[in-house]
Structure 1
Amino acid sequence: MITPKFSCSQTNETVLIKLYVPAIRASDIEIHVEGRLLVVHVNPYFLKLSFPGDVTEDDESSANYDPSNGYLIVTLSKEVKGQDFPDLDLLSKLLAPPKEAVGGGIEVLDPDVEGMVEAASSLRIQDPEIAEAISNDWQLPQIPSSENPFDLSTGRHYGFLDLYTGYFRHVAHVENDVNQLGANAETMSPAERLANREQKEEEKWDEEYYMQAADFVNDEEIVELVNWKADFQEHSSELSPLDEEETQAVLRLPRKEYLISPTQSTSLYLTLISLLFSYCYDSRTTQQDPNPESAWTISILTPSFAALDASPSSLSTVFRASYRRALAYPLYRSWLLCERCRHDVADIMAGGKRKVLRYLLKMKGILDHHEVYYIYSKIWMDDYCVWIQSYASDDVLLDFAKEVRSVAIPKSSIGWDLEALERAALSTRESDSDDESEDEIERMTPSVL
């Protein structure tokens, strides 16, 4: 069955669902409503939504199909007139209802699924296969196997909530220039991944590049990139709705639900910051026109991609890792650019989960189109795009945005003597004016940011 393209809107009294189901017969449409559950079936399309509140079919309800454009418009009445149904624009949330965030990071059924199944079973569905599909939410039964009662594998888990393993089993035969764990990606412990990542960063760090070939001495290009106005810097109380391409990307996301502990939730927000930092860096250096190197840039700057390093414990550890990578690997290695990207992350997070979703989808699109690095979209971005819609909080994102904007990242925390290198570079730089001093960079930063 195909999930059709759809959108939802509301008035004080009704909910309107618009589905694109071309080339069907109106007489074949089956619509069933029970409580907060809506099921629409017309071969080959199937849509099952769960709203934040109860809906009902009454004299004000209707279903109209226009064969000329292929749109079916279903209007349902709210059981409680005037009730606001939040997040109708977050389609994954309607397709996979949220649940209590408790326990470990595992994929689970909806806590209300029994009630939904009971409601679905009471609906008069003509096709028995459709009725069965509704009752199990189009998922195969999760039957534990008794063939291997003990997990003797030496493989490690990684990715979103450590849900994945086996994706790098044959990495030695793949041209993955991002993977810094080599053939040991499947066996290294989290502590070993962290140590390996920092060792690789030390090996890659080039102080001469930072002083000469990079922007510190020839900073005009960097200042131009820092001053460039990105669209994620715009502050608006109302974001434009997702376009058709973005909507289709949301509908292609996996239907997943999670049990997330408070500790895991904090870790997800912190890892999100590192993802957005990498995206913002690439966006600034390409002026939001992704090039063939963009997937590499995003991946190499993200610790959870390049080294499968996750679960940061604080903002300082997040930015220490992101800054180190941005100063060691890409073409532009600038402290000023790192600071600008940190403020960009704050701008995105301050816009709430809808704004974050939009840029996660852009990041996912860049990775999806790469023949190797798409794997990071599978083990991280798909889940993050689902999580941000159903589990993230606008209030928490705003709190993090304020902290990200105000946090001070000392150069001494990076582990390289950046201040001494800058003093040495300034001492050898040919002055363009008599009043140039070694405080030039410190004065430049607040004026640009």
Structure 2
Amino acid sequence: MITPRFSCSQTSESVLVSVYCPSIRASDIEINVDDTLFSLHVNPYFLRLNFSYPLQEDDQSSAKYDPSAGMITVALTKANPGQEFKDLDLMAKLLAPRPAKETPVIEVVDDLSKSVDNMSIDDNILEAAKNDWQLPQEVPKPLSELKTEKTSRYGFLNRHAGYFEHVTFTENEVNELGTEAETLDPAARRERRVKRENDKWDEEHYLADFADPEYIESLFDWQNPVLTDTASFDFTEEEKLAMLNLPRVEFIPTPPETRQLYLTLTTFLFSWAYDMRTTQGDPTSESPWTICSLTPAFTALDPPSAPVGDITAAHIVDALVPSYRRALAFPLYRSFALAEYCRKDVASILLRGRRTVTRCLLALKDILDHHEVYYIYSKVWVTDFCVWIQTHATDEELQHLGKIVGDASVPKGAIGWDLVALERLVLDAGEGEDREPDSDDE
């Protein structure tokens, strides 16, 4: 069955669903409404939408088909007139299946406490206790993680594997794991990433950009168009089509996994914000490489660690330090101040909520999808993120995260390359230019 293009709007009394189904017979259209679930079927099209609030079919409901435009317009009455239906433009959320209402039943098979008193203790143990034998004891070491397969999974919620089996036959310049991308565990991936960053670090390049920052500083005044749009913007037709083509999947992440996804999201937005600033909003042929090189989850399949407890500023710093390091080691413009502006861009995007974040992820996905090699990172990471943001993330969580990102301070000492001392060399040299040269200078 084909999922048709559609759009939704609302009045105070009804929800209007417009569905593009050309070359059909109006008599074959089947429409069904079940509480929050709306479905439309007409061969070869099938559409099922799950709304936030209940709808009903009554005398005020209607369906019209315009054969010249190929458009079916369905008006559904709200069960509670005047209620505002939010997120009608987030297609992935509307297309997601309705969550199960039943909760799992837990049954206690036996009460172990009743049998504790009846347990017998071995006579040898009693004898040892009576004589106070001092037997050597030590805390057992934790067992290593049990691996039931020779490959290590990666990507969104570790859902993927097998995408890098033939990576040596592709021109993947950002892959830092080589042929072992499918087998290395997370700890080994992180070790490889850190080593690659240290090897790529170039003091002279950083000093040159710090000493001559004129062009880089001109990037600071650029305004990201995503942040200049009003909060009530409409998605473009290209964005709507991209959302319509997203997979219909349902995720059930644990709370730690959810917090890890939010942290990983900040690294994606950081890389995209860097490319947007350095290209002045006009992505180039180098943009896929730049974005991938700055994203640890792409180059080394190494997302931020899942935090224990609520996300704090310390967790944000730990998540963004690898992005800062890569921004200072890989791309053309290597400036700590530029990285700080990118962090502020990330905070501003998050503060605008789910719709703005969705627009940014769709733009990132579009850049990667059009590259003949790096599209693979869109498949294992960004596509699922586009679905998750619309169906599971909340504006409140994103805005709370944005506030933490905005207030967080990434210290230069956390980068690990003694940036303060290097910058002092440039500043001291600049101060020395004002004095008279002496014989030692000659």
- TM-score between the two structures when normalised by the length of structure 1: 0.82
Q: Identify the residue that residue 320 of structure 2 maps to in structure 1.
A: 319
Q: Tell me the matched-pair count.
A: 385
Q: Identify the residue that residue 221 of structure 1 maps to in structure 2.
A: 215
Matches of residues 11-90 of structure 1 in structure 2 within 5 Å?
11-90=11-90
What CA distance in whole angstroms lies between the structure 2 residues aligned with 1:160 and 1:260? 10
Q: Secondary structure at the match of 1:258?
A: coil
Cα deviations across residues 108-129 of structure 1 (Å, max 9, x unaligned)? xx42599xxxxxxxxxxxxxxx
Contact persistence 2:162–2:182 (CA under 8 A)? yes
**Residue in structure 2 matching 1:296, options 255, 268, 289:** 289
What CA distance in whole angstroms lies between the structure 2 residues aligned with 1:261 and 1:359? 25
CA RMSD of aligned residues (A): 1.9
Q: Secondary structure at the match of 1:153?
A: coil
**What is the CA distance between 1:27 and its match in structure 2?**
2.0
Q: Secondary structure at the match of 1:268?
A: helix
Do structure 1's residue 369 and structure 2's residue 370 form an aligned pair?
A: yes
Q: Identify the residue that residue 202 of structure 1 maps to in structure 2.
A: 198
What CA distance in whole angstroms lies between the structure 2 residues aligned with 1:84 and 1:230? 30
What CA distance in whole angstroms lies between the structure 2 residues aligned with 1:411 and 1:235? 33
Matches of residues 295-444 of structure 1 in structure 2 within 5 Å?
295-312=288-305, 313=307, 314-429=315-430
Q: Identify the residue that residue 268 of structure 1 maps to in structure 2.
A: 261
Contact persistence 1:14–1:78 (CA under 8 A)? yes
What CA distance in whole angstroms lies between the structure 2 residues aligned with 1:412 and 1:152? 40
AA aligned opposite 1:30: E
What CA distance in whole angstroms lies between the structure 2 residues aligned with 1:63 and 1:211? 67
What CA distance in whole angstroms lies between the structure 2 residues aligned with 1:16 and 1:431? 71
Q: Structure 2: state its 5+ residue gaps.
A: 104-145, 308-314, 436-442
**What is the CA distance between 1:51 and its match in structure 2?**
1.5
What CA distance in whole angstroms lies between the structure 1 residues aligned with 2:244 and 2:12? 27
**What is the CA distance between 1:35 and its match in structure 2?**
2.1
Q: Identify the residue that residue 441 of structure 1 maps to in structure 2.
A: none
What CA distance in whole angstroms lies between the structure 2 residues aligned with 1:385 and 1:29? 31
- TM-score between the two structures when normalised by the length of structure 2: 0.84
- Give the stretch that moved more between structures: 12-21 or 29-38: 29-38
Contact persistence 2:304–2:319 (CA under 8 A)? no
What CA distance in whole angstroms lies between the structure 2 residues aligned with 1:50 and 1:229? 37
AA aligned opposite 1:66: D
**What is the CA distance between 1:55 and its match in structure 2?**
1.5
**What is the CA distance between 1:217 and its match in structure 2?**
1.3
**What is the CA distance between 1:44 and its match in structure 2?**
1.8
**What is the CA distance between 1:318 and its match in structure 2?**
1.4
Q: Identify the residue that residue 167 of structure 1 maps to in structure 2.
A: 163
Q: Identify the residue that residue 277 of structure 1 maps to in structure 2.
A: 270
What CA distance in whole angstroms lies between the structure 2 residues aligned with 1:196 and 1:209? 23
What CA distance in whole angstroms lies between the structure 1 residues aligned with 2:360 and 2:204? 34
**What is the CA distance between 1:91 and its match in structure 2?**
1.0
Contact persistence 2:17–2:75 (CA under 8 A)? yes
What CA distance in whole angstroms lies between the structure 2 residues aligned with 1:292 and 1:433? 43
**What is the CA distance between 1:209 and its match in structure 2?**
0.8
**Residue in structure 2 matching 1:251, options 244, 249, 261:** 244
Matches of residues 152-163 of structure 1 in structure 2 within 5 Å?
152-163=148-159
What CA distance in whole angstroms lies between the structure 2 residues aligned with 1:231 and 1:308? 30
AA aligned opposite 1:190: P
**What is the CA distance between 1:409 and its match in structure 2?**
1.0
Q: Identify the residue that residue 443 of structure 1 maps to in structure 2.
A: none
The structure whose Rg is larger is 2
**What is the CA distance between 1:343 and its match in structure 2?**
0.3
Cα deviations across residues 287-336 of structure 1 (Å, max 9, x unaligned)? 11111110010001000000000133411111111100000000000011
Q: Secondary structure at the match of 1:375?
A: helix
Distance 1:396 1:364, change over 3 A: same
Contact persistence 2:54–2:78 (CA under 8 A)? yes
Contact persistence 1:97–1:390 (CA under 8 A)? no
Contact persistence 1:232–1:347 (CA under 8 A)? no
Identity %: 51
Q: Secondary structure at the match of 1:277?
A: helix
**What is the CA distance between 1:235 and its match in structure 2?**
6.6
Distance 1:432 1:2, change over 3 A: farther
Do structure 1's residue 181 and structure 2's residue 177 form an aligned pair?
A: yes
Contact persistence 1:232–1:344 (CA under 8 A)? no
Cα deviations across residues 41-62 of structure 1 (Å, max 9, x unaligned)? 1222110112222212111111
Contact persistence 1:326–1:333 (CA under 8 A)? yes
**What is the CA distance between 1:429 and its match in structure 2?**
3.9
Contact persistence 1:24–1:42 (CA under 8 A)? yes
